[in-house]
Structure 1
Amino acid sequence: MMSKIQDAISQHNDTKSLYYKQILNSAFGGEGQNIAKFDKISFNNARQAQLKQLKQDHKATRKLSDDILNSDGEVIEETQYMVSESPRQFKCNKPLQEAELILDNNKFWYLNYIFNFLYKCIDMDRVHLCNMDTDSMYLAIAGSQIEGYKQRLNGFHGTIVLLLKRQNFARITSEPQGENIVCLAPKCYSLYNGNEQNNGIESLMSRMKDVSEKKANLTTNDYIKCLNDGCNVKVTTNNSQMKLGVKSMIGMEKSALTVIHNKMVVLFNGCCAPFMYGINADHYLVE
């Protein structure tokens, strides 16, 4: 699939390149998750359930029904139990180690690109790294005051910048662009135009974790309030579940926006450091 993407890029076919990219991303997500069910579930009578409970593989037992008697008091159907067993050995056909290697290797080259290319080739006094993800980053650029917010690197000068503009070096492309951005945590941000003091905010893009963006109905003002006041913004989500043949609607309250960051170690000056065994924020020296 990667070869097809490269062929489409060499042919300058953006539609086909994006199509194959979407297929590759969805396939990688499926292969990188071990969704196989290794528990063995069986339905047994009381005698069989009692024997299986003595095994080391036994996990749980649940009663499903009682004895059914006829008019003469005879048992026509015995009590049924559902027994769950967890085998001590099983076979996994998913290439999990390949997916983990790709993710770890991607993080290495991501940091290598930032420190060995971006920081050395661009005037970082005019660029602020706001947010980053696995394959993208959001930059606040102080460029030309005449051009609008879609100027990208046009306000910069130098040989390296000209190379970036002409050759599209390292496949740098811009997707959403705006005047302001509020970043609360990884994959939790809001991009907007306008000024919150004048109530003229135009929301361009908002992202949040573990909550549907359409059902939450949050605005950019919620992100700004969460950042300034340090409060949690909660929303109620409704999900339908099927249990024992009965379908019910369950309402659950979740924290859509929060100032808590549990992905990295946050230092007292706001900088973030990766998790390492035995290392906490007190072990870092910040000037």
Structure 2
Amino acid sequence: MMSKRQDANSQHNDTKALYDKQILNSAFGVEGQNNTKFDRISFNDARHASIKQLNQCHKATRKLSDDKYNSDGELIEEAQYMVRESPRQFQYNKPLQETVFTLDNSKFQYLNFVYNFLYKCIDIDRVHFCNMDTDSMYLAIAGSQIEGYKYGLKYMIKDQLFYDQHYKEWLPWDNCTVAEEKKLMGLTTEPQGENIVCLTPKCYSLYNENEQNEEIVSLVNRMKRVSEKKANLTTNDYIKCLSDGCNIIATTNNLQMKMGVMSMISMEKSALTGIGDKMVELANGCCASFMYGINADHYLIER
């Protein structure tokens, strides 16, 4: 599939390249981390929901709607509940070890790039790690104030010889082919901007604003749990969440089919919170892994 995407990019077939990209991006989650393999979600009335809550497989219950009555006080529609169950046994036809290896190997390659390339030839005092995820990193770099912001790492190189010998193992170069730019275990630059606000992993806003142009121009807005297009959030929402510590709410609409009737359910979700639920965030902004019985107060931070 990767070679098909490279061929599509070489032929300037944007539609085919985007199609192959979506398959590649979703393959890991669909095959290895698809909750439908391990969770069962059903919509029930109050009686059936209470029965399922007694099952050992029950995980969570959420109320979606209240009872509805007509003008005569007669019940016309019962309250609906969403019940999540985790079956004790399930059938899975894909090798789970491939999923585990992919996740662990990506972390190894991530650290390999940082310690065996960046730290050896780049002046880290001029680079700040803003946000990191399994397969991506967001860097704020102090380079040239004249050339703009699309100059890569060339103003931060401290060991030019080492950089020239090894940068093609990781990074693309001028006039390289699509296969060389998108090589496996390599890195490529995607969006670039003048400023970035990072709340948690996979939740950030990249925008342009400088002294000459005070208007904020949003380039990329990313968030979790809600649709980016439907939420209609702006960079100012990210800045407000970071500076005021407030919770930004967004309304999402989902279609549900029940008994042959299509219904639309509107739900309010926390789009921006600035709270990471996969790690412990320390007072200085660093993050530490979850460990049972250990919270942020147990860590000592050197000033």
Question: TM-score scaled by structure 2?
Answer: 0.68
8 Å CA contact 2:38, 2:87 repeated in 1? no
Amino acid at match of 1:26: S
Correspondence 1:245 to 2:278: no
- Residue 213 in structure 1 maps to residue 228 in structure 2: yes
CA distance in 1, matches of 2:215, 2:93: 54
Higher-Rg structure is 1
Structural RMSD (CA): 3.6
Aligned residue runs from structure 1 range 176-215, under 5 A: 176-195=191-210, 199-215=214-230
Q: Which position in structure 1 is the counterpart of 2:282? A: 267
Shift of 1:136: 1.4
Q: Aligned pair in 2 of structure 1 residues 128, 14: CA closer, same or farther (>3 Å)?
A: farther
Alignment of 1:266-285 (within 5 A): 266-285=281-300
Determine the structure 1 residue equivalent to 2:143. Answer: 143
Q: Among residues 247, 251, 273, which one is paired with 1:258 in the alignment?
A: 273
Give the C-alpha shift of residue 26 in structure 1.
3.0
The answer for the alignment partner of 1:79 in structure 2 is none
Identity %: 66
- Give distance in 2, aligned partners of 1:206 and 1:200: 16
Shift in CA distance, 89/22, structure 1 to aligned 2, threshold 3 Å: closer
Deviation at 1:6, TM superposition (A): 11
- Structure 1 pair 38/107, CA: closer, same or farther in 2 (3 Å)? closer
2-structure distance, mates of 1:168, 1:156 = 16
CA distance 1:224–1:164, shift in 2 (3 Å)? farther
Q: 2:162 aligns with which of 160, 163, 184?
A: 160
Residue 176 of structure 1 aligns to a residue whose secondary structure is: coil
Cα separation, 2, equivalents of 1:168 and 1:91: 39
Deviation of 1:118 (Å): 1.8
Evaluate the alpha carbon distance shift between residue 161 and residue 267 of structure 1 in structure 2; reply closer, same or farther with a 3 A threshold: same
How many pairs are equivalent?
244
SS of the aligned residue for 1:171 comes to coil
User: Compared with structure 1, are the counterparts of its residues 174 and 163 closer, same or farther at alpha carbon in structure 2 (3 Å cutoff)?
Assistant: farther
Structure 2 contact 255–265 (Cα < 8 Å) conserved: yes
| Structure 2 unpaired stretches of 5+ | 41-54, 59-85, 172-184
Contact 1:34 1:96 in 2 (8 A): no
In 2, are the aligned partners of 1:38 and 1:90 still within 8 Å (CA)? no
Secondary structure of residue in 1 paired with 2:191:
coil
Written as runs of structure 1 = structure 2, the 5 A alignment for 1:112-151 is: 112-151=112-151
The SS at the match of 2:36 is coil
Where structure 1 has 5 or more consecutive residues not aligned to the other structure, the ranges are 40-55, 60-85
